[in-house]
Amino acid sequence: MNSREWAQSERHALCDLMDAVGPAAPTLCGGWTVAHMAAHLVVRERRPDTGPGLVLSGAPARHTARVTNRLAESGDFTQLVDRVRRGPPLLLRSADGAMNLVEFVVHHEDVRRAGDGWAPRSDIDGLEALLWARLDKGAKLMCRRLVDVDLTLARPTGETIHVGKVGRPATLTGGPVELVNFLFGRRDRVEAEVAGDEGAVHELQTGHLGI
């Protein structure tokens, strides 16, 4: 499958899971319930006025949070999930893969891994290949706030990506789904190994990661 098809697959799997666990179930995303997760995904695709608040702090972030909270708390949950399931508006559908692949992988895992008993998924080689390519292009952005860390990403199969910052060496090893979730800050719910300079390892485990 290509990136658009995988984005759609992750979207539908997440929607099925949200329906199954219900609106009050927890997620790994900043104290959100599943209802907040569904509302966030609707707002992200259908309320362009909230876009700045997804990446900026201060007033834009507060506006986005207000809109998201109102939708999570006032809407019909089944209808909300159905709106996510229908996909992006027509004008955005051509960019579905580019815009939504990583987003839906991370949020799918946010719900999958919120409770006990989770395990990494298998039989997703095509998805992992696409995520590895995204990491090759996007890891520098996600790691830009690390201080004095020369980071290398590594797969168990032996491939590596040198993130390219100058500093103390560290290597983060795991499957691409695990690496993506680590770099988006879900560090305590991934199966990945960190090795290298002691200070660099500490910075990687505690420093600011993500978009």
Q: Is the pLDDT of residue 20 over 90?
A: yes
Distance CA 144, CA 128 (A): 23
Fold topology of 125-206: Nonspecific Lipid-transfer Protein; Chain A (3.30.1050)
Q: Could you give the angle at the alpha carbon of 50 between the alpha carbons of 49 and 52, nearest 5°?
A: 95
CB atoms within 10 A of CB 21: 17
Are residues 188 and 118 in contact, defined by beta-carbon separation less than 8 angstroms? Answer: no
pTM, two decimal places = 0.92
Lookup: tokens for 206: 């505690």
How far, rounded to the nearest angstrom, does the alpha carbon of residue 21 sit from its chain's CA centroid? Answer: 19
Kindly report, residue by residue over 146-160, the tens digit of the pLDDT. Answer: 999 999 999 999 999
| DSSP letters for 127-166 | HHHHHHHHHHHHHHHHTTT-SSEEEEEE-TTS-EEE----
Lookup: tokens for 160: 């590596």
Distance CA 72, CA 35 (A): 5
Kindly report, residue by residue over 35-72, the tens digit of the pLDDT. Answer: 999 999 999 998 888 888 787 789 988 998 898 899 89
Distance CA 128, CA 116 (A): 23
Write down the domain spans for the chain.
3-112, 125-206
Distance CA 34, CA 25 (A): 6
The lowest-confidence range among 85-89, 107-111, 193-197 is 85-89
How far, rounded to the nearest angstrom, does the alpha carbon of residue 180 sit from its chain's CA centroid? Answer: 7
Instruction: Pick 178 or 74 by higher pLDDT.
Output: 178
